[in-house]
Structure 1
């Protein structure tokens, strides 16, 4: 056990459905930007640390939605083309912005080399390699990223089992922990996790009353929760401030529209784009070192406070969206590498969540309230007045889905359920309709019309299939699905609607 305490970093990788499975208003660009600027440099950094002997570096959740896209041949070809385009854009700016163009050329070349050496067969081999060498713990999660507390228990269990099955097939083993989408929780879900073999999950710190210095068993289950330490996490990124807003870092929102490159540094919060100073990698590197040291000081101070409070070494858990590191914050991967190298030199043990459990950093049981990591730490983002129509739509989708499966079960002569592609596809479309992303985008007024349209599209498909199957018109249902050029088969190859008709565990 470290003399100071333990630091656990948890990253959550998630993007809504993109590519030919459905697009953001900006199409596949969001996926490819995150892939090139976050996933490639982060995995390269973790491999580098592992080769230097570091282990148990962080806990990484990749949602089944994103895992499917990162393994998809269409997306793999697309991001490779995008990387080539990035290089060409850098070259196009050479006469106007020579220093920026040279920096972008080097960065694009490194990303292309990383992709061609390690990613040509998708993300799964990359993630397996990092897990198998002990660098990371991989978390699973429910399929299609639903806000689980609002689901019918049967549908909630189905989404979880589908996501765990997808993880097991892609990565070779079932995860011991999950990232619950939006950190959403309702009392009683711990028993569902227990039944499904989940042993730990993350909640936001306020759900534990801020007592995040140890992981906690939930109720009388064998499942433990880790609380995100907001004081430490918000040092990096919060709704109002954080390191990425420092003057030296690259400004995410200022573009050179001729090349699509980002030529400016933040300069100042109220400085208009046309007055921002040119980006300087040298200045940014100095800021990385400064902010890494500041964060390490923050972690050490927090752990000393926890040790004083508990009378024993404890832990602090910082959790972020993976895309912060590289996509939103250009220097994020370099900062993270500096932090992970510095912490052990200050007597801090760096562990995964599973490593913290193995080290005995588990306290007394806790009763969790309804919670999430959204605004207010409650359910308002996904169940508030702005999205009351979506809540009603989601309830109707679940009723239609279950009605079709209950009214006309498909079984053999002995009554054993038989797998049916039509019902699998209906269940897959229901999972898409129930994604938490749609309510989030509406509540936050981020492409709200698109979100409502996507939710409506998938909901209408479920209702249509349900009606046809309940009336025995399987042939008509099959013809109807053949017209769905974007969804002739489930996105998740492990969707098995029989899991919805079996008795709840």
Structure 2
């Protein structure tokens, strides 16, 4: 018997979005650097907030579990980044206006022919005007108030994480504990909410980390599906702890984001890779998987909207079927989690925010209950304890992306820099304690730890292993390593004033996490 679409299905469905970029301010603009931040902000963060605020105005709550890493939150609040974003939006408007008034072909594809580009530019101009108005009204003084409103309104559950997104299993336990506790404190300061759960960077886990999570007050975290041996129908307490691991359901998640068959590759959607040379805009549609850029057809919003509707129907049907089958398999209502990078929605997949808004409306209409990870715990979607293997959500679901032969030099660099930083800071703290406790903040020690955390960001080995701006990634890792060594060498050799000047100089570029306090570093 076919179940009518409106009949309730058992269980709970959760969207989890992971919002993360490395620290990009003051470190290049194009092709990798601040442009990455501003593109993601305009294409993903503004539209996502628009969708969530629209649904909140309809009295919808518990819609999304949203991870926002401390390094992204820092950039959304940073005065330099806010000014840069405003300038970027204004520049986007100039480029859209140029496209809307073009008289000559300027790009590689039919989408850059004058008439097609004029139509596209007119639509783009209306879009950027809306974003400029939203940015100036809501975002101009920082992203934290915008997100806090959604948290306060119970529209989203906030997930936190450690400072600067390190690959935790490979990190010195002292620095690992420090980064996590400081990251949770950073979220408390920005949002007046201390996250109960985290998105562990890269979903990376090593046995025993659940004990550290429990000590830091973390009650749940995300892993990839294979970490739970593919059985993601319930959250699972890890080992002897009460800390719950939730797994991404790959059968559902890959329906959206799969290199071979995911929705964003549909012929009707806007093509991410094809630019109009004169304006830097993206006026073409995918057209076909094997169609070269110079043959891409003009973007057609009506064609794209029809594809969105089809993919909404497909996803809703997929979620319903998965909840029914998983509930039957385990003999109780099941929990299904679809988890993605936030930047997929809008930045990589232009139509993603519209699809998400429609899905969040369509699922309840189809009898599917939506809730957050905290809702899942509260409502008992938790099974028997499990022992997790060392794992991640990277290639092979192990640690090879961050610890393989291709990045062995970065692993050695990280170990060396962390050892230098901890040794230097320990001595400085011991010296200060000998003069009488509690001592004042130690700006130099703070900056040493700040640069160290930027050095060990998981982004750099990821970008190298994936050959995605690998030269930039290595440059950034070695730059922050140099900063750490330079300040630490001056301090260790007694050149305190020089160490102070060096720390101040590096802080002008890397002044994020102003509340970071080296005095809270766990003792050796």
Range into which the TM-score falls when normalised by the shorter chain: over 0.9
User: Cα distance, 1:444 vs. partner?
Assistant: 0.9
Task: Give CA deviations for 1:7-62 in whole Å, capped at 9, x if unaligned.
Answer: 10010111111122666643321111111111111101100001112110001111
Of 473, 478, 481 in structure 2, the residue corresponding to residue 459 of structure 1 is 481
Q: In the alignment, is residue 16 of structure 1 matched against residue 22 of structure 2?
A: yes
1:260–1:113 Cα change, 3 Å: same
Residue matched to 2:5 = none
Question: Helix, strand or coil for the counterpart of 2:339?
Answer: strand
Distance 1:428 1:26 in 2: 22
Distance 1:89 1:404 in 2: 50
User: Cα distance, 1:501 vs. partner?
Assistant: 4.2
Task: Give CA deviations for 1:220-256 in whole Å, capped at 9, x if unaligned.
Answer: 1111011000110000002333000001111111111
1:415–1:98 Cα change, 3 Å: closer
Residue matched to 1:498 = 519
Distance 1:461 1:276 in 2: 45
Residue matched to 1:308 = 328
Task: Give CA deviations for 1:389-441 in whole Å, capped at 9, x if unaligned.
Answer: 11011111111111112334222644545431110010101001110111011
Aligned-residue Cα RMSD (Å) equals 1.7
Residue matched to 1:428 = 450
With 478-487 and 49-58 compared, the bigger mean Cα shift is at 478-487
User: Cα distance, 1:372 vs. partner?
Assistant: 0.3
Distance 2:161 2:28 in 1: 21
Question: Helix, strand or coil for the counterpart of 1:320?
Answer: strand
With 79-88 and 307-316 compared, the bigger mean Cα shift is at 79-88
Unaligned runs of 5+ in 1: none
User: Cα distance, 1:3 vs. partner?
Assistant: 3.8
Residue matched to 2:87 = 81
Task: Give CA deviations for 1:91-136 in whole Å, capped at 9, x if unaligned.
Answer: 1112422221121112112211221221111110010001111110
Residue matched to 2:109 = none
With 320-329 and 453-462 compared, the bigger mean Cα shift is at 453-462
Distance 1:91 1:134 in 2: 39
Question: Helix, strand or coil for the counterpart of 1:431?
Answer: helix
Residue matched to 1:201 = 221
Distance 2:377 2:165 in 1: 26
Q: Where in structure 2 are the equivalents of 1:220-235 lying within 5 Å?
A: 220-235=240-255
Distance 1:495 1:485 in 2: 12
User: Cα distance, 1:457 vs. partner?
Assistant: 1.4
CA contact (8 A) 1:64 1:166 kept: yes
Residue matched to 2:64 = 58
CA contact (8 A) 1:219 1:366 kept: yes
Question: Helix, strand or coil for the counterpart of 2:312?
Answer: helix
Residue matched to 1:383 = 403
Unaligned runs of 5+ in 2: 1-7, 102-113
CA contact (8 A) 1:412 1:418 kept: no
Distance 1:483 1:344 in 2: 53
Distance 2:168 2:64 in 1: 25
CA contact (8 A) 1:83 1:108 kept: yes
Question: Helix, strand or coil for the counterpart of 1:397?
Answer: helix
With 141-150 and 410-419 compared, the bigger mean Cα shift is at 410-419
CA contact (8 A) 1:7 1:348 kept: yes
Residue matched to 1:447 = 469
Residue matched to 1:468 = 490
Q: Where in structure 2 are the equivalents of 1:126-141 lying within 5 Å?
A: 126-141=146-161
CA contact (8 A) 1:403 1:466 kept: no
Distance 2:468 2:131 in 1: 29
With 323-332 and 92-101 compared, the bigger mean Cα shift is at 92-101
Question: Helix, strand or coil for the counterpart of 2:26?
Answer: helix
Of 407, 417, 434 in structure 2, the residue corresponding to residue 397 of structure 1 is 417
Q: In the alignment, is residue 39 of structure 1 matched against residue 18 of structure 2?
A: no
Q: Where in structure 2 are the equivalents of 1:50-449 lying within 5 Å?
A: 50-95=56-101, 96=114, 97-408=117-428, 409=430, 410-411=432-433, 413-416=435-438, 418-449=440-471
CA contact (8 A) 1:397 1:459 kept: yes
Distance 2:502 2:91 in 1: 38
Residue matched to 2:3 = none
1:121–1:479 Cα change, 3 Å: closer
Distance 1:324 1:227 in 2: 19
Distance 1:436 1:278 in 2: 38
Distance 1:335 1:45 in 2: 10
- What's the TM-score once normalised by structure 1's chain length? 0.96
Distance 2:427 2:135 in 1: 49
Task: Give CA deviations for 1:128-185 in whole Å, capped at 9, x if unaligned.
Answer: 0011111101111000110000001001001111111111110112110111110111
User: Cα distance, 1:493 vs. partner?
Assistant: 1.1
Question: Helix, strand or coil for the counterpart of 1:430?
Answer: helix
